[in-house]
């Protein structure tokens, strides 16, 4: 309902979320009435959004935030509401007239792969034609992948970010499967990411709301603290758009600290815009790096072991940045699970990192 989004916008403005960089409040599927109006336009459900989307957008904007909305490339949304097929220009104009700032465009009920691709292209052009700046969030490669390899060069021409994998769930197995998939496909997806176009590991919703931070389920119930740290650290390494799927009215101080952590968000939002990647695996340990601006690197050591206690992982600094990250010397700072300086190391040094089961240590080198 509109009340939920008004309350969430208030919390985002009052409790530091906006100041941390979370600026979009996004409505997901089921916001619309079951039929279009007499002019063929989408309309909001009159009971749950009695004031209409324009008024809600005005309120969200008054809080210094932006509003996102949902539609579908097919004739029906995933939940069976009116889709945008054959209405791309009209729907784009409608969203722009309402003051919408982001469109999540789903891929259900699209018919053939040709219609799917054509619809994503058409909506991109239609949004641009409105003259309003609207972030375009696509699910194009996710719906292509079972049948054919996505053409990421083309997808980036049309979309600002694109979903690659199944819905994320509030569970460690879901987070782990996303990381495994990303590492397996990094040769095809890492190189395309950069300013203007990003790989989005997942999509999901909670309470029909997703708040701009790719879907962080931190602050719900399914993840342990170490697993929540892993998700935040690895989404920063992957340069993923950060969306939160949670209820900010009921969130623990610890989850809030993690989600608003300025050092982690700075890594995620680094201006160089390069996506990180896995550089080595050893038993249950994974070593990831992400090039940052200023010749720095973010480094993540992930322990996928699910039982037992903390374990040590030792690696040579010559592994990082093709041997250049620490040549001839570098400073190392731990960002997660707690921030502290580790000092200066020479190029030939080794680091020994203690990591909890299902946890991650995030470093900046």
Domains and CATH numbers, the chain: 2-269 (3.20.20.70), 277-364 (2.60.40.1180)
What is the token pair recorded at 161? 């970010």
Q: How far is CA 334 from the centre of its chain?
A: 23
Closest CA to 67 of 41, 43, 103: 103
The DSSP call for residue 308 is S
pLDDT number for residue 181: 87
Sign of the Cα pseudo-torsion (36, 79, 102, 88, in order): negative
Rounded-to-integer distance, Cα 197 and Cα 313, Å = 34
The CA-atom distances, in angstroms, between 111 and each of 33, 87, 143 are: 23, 16, 11
Rounded-to-integer distance, Cα 314 and Cα 294, Å = 26
Is 218:244 a contact under the CB 8 Å cutoff? Answer: yes
Rounded-to-integer distance, Cα 222 and Cα 70, Å = 26
The DSSP call for residue 317 is G
pLDDT number for residue 343: 97
pLDDT number for residue 221: 64
Host H or E run for residue 129: helix 113-129
What is the token pair recorded at 154? 């083309």
Pairing assessment for the beta strands 135-138 and 329-336 based on DSSP bridges: unpaired
Active site residues: 106, 167
pLDDT number for residue 222: 75
Query: What is residue 264's three-state secondary structure?
Result: helix
> Which pTM was predicted?
0.92
Determine how many CB atoms are found less than 10 A away from the CB of residue 127.
Answer: 26
Q: Beta partners for 300?
A: 288, 362
Rounded-to-integer distance, Cα 119 and Cα 141, Å = 13
Query: What is residue 68's three-state secondary structure?
Result: strand
pLDDT number for residue 209: 37
pLDDT number for residue 213: 37
Within 185-292, residue ranges assigned H as helices are 186-189, 225-237, 253-259, 262-268
What is the token pair recorded at 323? 């041997």
pLDDT number for residue 147: 85
Half-sphere exposure for 334 (CA within 13 Å, toward CB): 16
Determine how many CB atoms are found less than 10 A away from the CB of residue 97.
Answer: 14
In order along its 365 residues, the chain shows pLDDT tens digits of: 999 999 999 999 999 999 999 999 999 999 999 999 999 999 999 999 999 999 999 999 999 999 999 999 999 999 999 999 999 999 999 999 999 999 999 999 998 999 999 999 999 999 999 999 999 999 998 888 878 899 999 999 999 999 886 566 678 888 888 899 899 999 999 999 999 999 988 654 333 333 333 455 556 667 899 999 999 999 999 999 999 988 999 999 999 999 999 999 999 999 999 999 999 999 899 999 999 999 999 999 999 999 999 999 999 999 999 999 999 999 999 999 999 999 999 999 999 999 999 999 999 99
């Amino acid at each position: 309902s509109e009340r939920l989004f008004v309350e969430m916008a208030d919390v985002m403005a009052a409790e530091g979320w906006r100041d941390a960089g979370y600026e979009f409040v996004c409505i997901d599927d089921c916001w619309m009435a079951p039929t279009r109006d007499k002019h063929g336009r989408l309309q909001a459900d009159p009971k749950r959004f009695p004031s209409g989307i324009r008024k809600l957008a005005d309120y969200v904007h008054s809080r210094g935030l932006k509003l996102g909305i949902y539609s579908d490339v097919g004739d029906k949304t995933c939940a069976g509401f009116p889709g945008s097929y054959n209405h791309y220009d009209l729907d784009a104009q409608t969203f722009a007239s309402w003051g919408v700032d982001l469109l999540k465009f789903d891929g259900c009920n699209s018919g053939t792969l040709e219609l799917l691709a054509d619809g994503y292209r058409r909506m991109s052009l239609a949004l641009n034609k409105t003259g309003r700046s609207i972030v375009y969030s696509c699910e194009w490669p996710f719906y292509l992948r079972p049948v054919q390899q996505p053409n990421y060069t083309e997808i980036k021409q049309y979309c600002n970010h694109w979903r690659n994998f199944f819905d994320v769930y509030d569970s460690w197995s879901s987070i782990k499967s996303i990381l495994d998939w990303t590492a397996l496909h990094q040769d095809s997806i890492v190189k395309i990411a950069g300013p203007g176009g990003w790989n989005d590991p997942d999509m999901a919703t909670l309470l029909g709301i997703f708040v701009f931070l790719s879907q962080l389920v931190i602050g719900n119930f399914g993840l342990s603290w170490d697993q929540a740290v892993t998700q935040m650290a690895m989404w920063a390494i992957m340069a993923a758009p950060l969306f939160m799927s949670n209820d900010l009215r009921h969130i623990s101080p610890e989850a809030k600290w993690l989600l608003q952590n300025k050092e982690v968000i700075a890594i995620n939002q680094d201006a160089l815009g390069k996506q990180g990647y896995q550089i080595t695996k050893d038993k249950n340990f994974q070593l990831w790096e992400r090039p940052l601006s200023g010749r720095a690197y973010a480094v993540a050591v992930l322990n996928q072991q699910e039982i037992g206690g903390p374990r040590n992982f030792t690696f040579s600094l010559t592994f990082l940045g093709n041997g250049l990250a620490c040549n001839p010397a570098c400073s190392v700072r731990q960002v997660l699970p707690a921030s502290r300086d580790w000092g200066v190391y020479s190029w030939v040094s080794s680091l020994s990192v203690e990591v909890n089961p299902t946890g991650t240590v995030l470093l900046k080198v």
